[in-house]
Structure 1
Amino acid sequence: MISKALTTVLLTGFIAGILYTGAQMLRVTPLILEAEKYEIAEIAVPHSHAASGITHTHVLNGVALDVHQRVATTHEILPAAHDHAGVAHDHAAESWAPGDGAERTFYTAVSNIVTAIAFSLMLVAVYLLRGKKVDMNSGLLWGAAGFAVFALAPALGLPPELPGMTAAALESRQLWWIGTVLATAVGIGLFTESKSILPKIAALALLAAPHLIGAPHPFLFESIVPAELSAQFAVASLVTSAFFWLVLGATSGYFYKKLVLESSGVFVKTSPLNPQ
């Protein structure tokens, strides 16, 4: 059974990763490329920023360039201009990034497949631990839950960002994201699995807690990317992520039923919810 479960994981991850890459190329990737035009234009022109105490990150071909560091809490004018072109040159010499076109698409697909396999492993592990009947329909529900946990809930506080947008410190964003994912996962589990009122109330409290605490944001927001482009990217990213999770759930449910349950003779004619 373990080998068939692993086969389910690999098949699901490969299919979901490929389809996710194709979905990204329809809208998400073009928006990223459009934002990089603004980023390149910004880096190419040396300039100074008036406000200190701001962390400003540039991203070029996937490489984050932290060119302004927090230096003071006052609002004094910095005397020296920052040469972004020089910074970009130094980072390019130290870091490698895939070129545009087929090479970039290939590495994106590989990354998506690896990510999909990891999430597929998580779903199949849940199926095995629960020991209940799973098919394509129930897999869709698990996929929807995965989308809510790993994409929708975090996006309510930290929406997807394009290159060229300021953000809070990476460590604080990662900590809030992890806390939100854990709270949402436990909250959904409590709410759906519990029958009494108290666990359901606790579940609602867990779901709301990360958003009541609030996600970390920069003290001063600035972006070289138009707001309309940022909004389009946030929507496109969430829609594409929803597609990914629904495909992942449906595919994992289908292969789990065919390869694990039916081949081993488990839950073929009866369900643990309606035993005969």
Structure 2
Amino acid sequence: MSAAHDLFGGGVAVITGAGAGIGAGLARYAARELGMTVVLADVDTTAITALRTELQQQGAHALDVACDVRDPDAVERLAETTLSEAGPVRLLVNNAGVEQFGYLWDTPVANWERLVTINISGVFHGVRAFLPRMMADPGRSWVWNLSSVGGVSAGPLQAPYIMSKHAVLALTECLHQEVELAGHGHHVHVQAVLPGAVTSNIFESAGAVDDGDVTAAEDHRSAMLQIKAQAMDPLDAARVFFDQAAAQEFYLLSQPFVADAMAARADTLLHRRPPHLPRGEFSVPAP
């Protein structure tokens, strides 16, 4: 058996945004390969019901719970339901997230507020609802917060999303320190997940702009959809994340180019260079 199976096998995993993409990939891998009981949380109840049925038909243990991570009371109910119906949580994955394309000044206020409350506040609500329970339990447990390669880089026409992923990364780094400071670092492990290009529907469902340069926003969506064709399968990404987590890494990276982006970011800050327009693979095509 793998180290990941030894650590996570048989435990309970709660995954927000489990209806598609990385969330669904993590759920399938955790349930089928590690024998975990998975609690599937999402606003898309049709998707998580279908995934629960799929996993149960394969002999896995799964529970689906409708949950909007923007609502702290809903996330608290998710924690209560998980404890009563599945048991103590071994792995919490704060994964739910949305995208936004277009110039920042063209971004609709409603889209901005929706993205911030899902991508940032949703992680906070997950931590606040689950972490005290996990710290009170003597068993080992893990908290994974989903940042992104965008959390260690900058790029145009995705400013709200990239900002949110920088915020999640900073939140997670601070949380790692706070858990240690509070005396729980020996049994509660906080880790930051930084996917690169992993197949999902986040680009198709990304927010658009109503006014201003609509063409720029939609051209960027098209460019991102071209990247999707080269993206990593979510199951393969899940395997990488679990293996790195078992190796006690803090930054869980889907692909080597994420580490390259981290190095480039560090070099930019070290030499105080101004941000430049990215070119090449997984970047904005030249106009």
- TM-score interval, normalised by the smaller of the two chains: under 0.3
Higher-strand-fraction structure: 2
Using structure 2 for the length normalisation, give the TM-score.
0.24
Higher-helix-fraction structure: 1
State the structure with bigger RCO (CA 8 A, min sep 6), 1 or 2: 1
